[in-house]
Structure 1
Amino acid sequence: MSNNEPKAVVELSAKDLTGPGVIFCPNPKMALWSNHPKVFIDVATTGEGRCPYCGTAYRLKAGEKLHAGH
């Protein structure tokens, strides 16, 4: 495994996203001891985003479509 590989990958459905296509990390399934400041990660733009603190990658499941909020 290279240093560029994410620590973990979380597959998301469109309904998992909040606001304008973002997810927050740490997520509710993470252990309390591994907490870091809450950050919002944009996954709507490219379909994927990575946490700058823990390296967890968040990506949309294949075939998931986001509804435009315009």
Structure 2
Amino acid sequence: MSETQAAATVEVTAKDLQGEGVLFCPNPRMPLWSNHPRVFLNLSQDGQGKCPYCGTVYKLKDGEHLPHGH
């Protein structure tokens, strides 16, 4: 990997979220060699979150809405 390579941005849908705006990294599509401890990220504030381990940014796709609680 190049030092100048930018961190990945992953667009997610409301269906990808666990609960109210939460998802985890590493995501199931990442290769095994890139695994790190599981981190839960909350997208409910501004529709995006950044993994503190690998720098992957998860962003809610345009037009998607976060599910609301009961």
1:15 maps to 15
TM-score (ref. length: structure 2): 0.87
TM-score (ref. length: structure 1): 0.87
1:69 aligns with 2:69: yes
Q: How many residues align?
A: 67
Residues in 2 aligned to 1:34 and 1:65: alpha-carbon distance in whole angstroms: 29
Residues in 2 aligned to 1:44 and 1:59: alpha-carbon distance in whole angstroms: 11
- SS where residue 63 of structure 2 aligns? coil
% identical aligned pairs: 61
- SS where residue 20 of structure 1 aligns? coil
Unpaired segments of 5 or more residues in structure 2? none
Runs ≥4 residues deviating over 2 A:
none
The CA RMSD measured in Å over matched residues stands at 1.7
Unpaired segments of 5 or more residues in structure 1? none
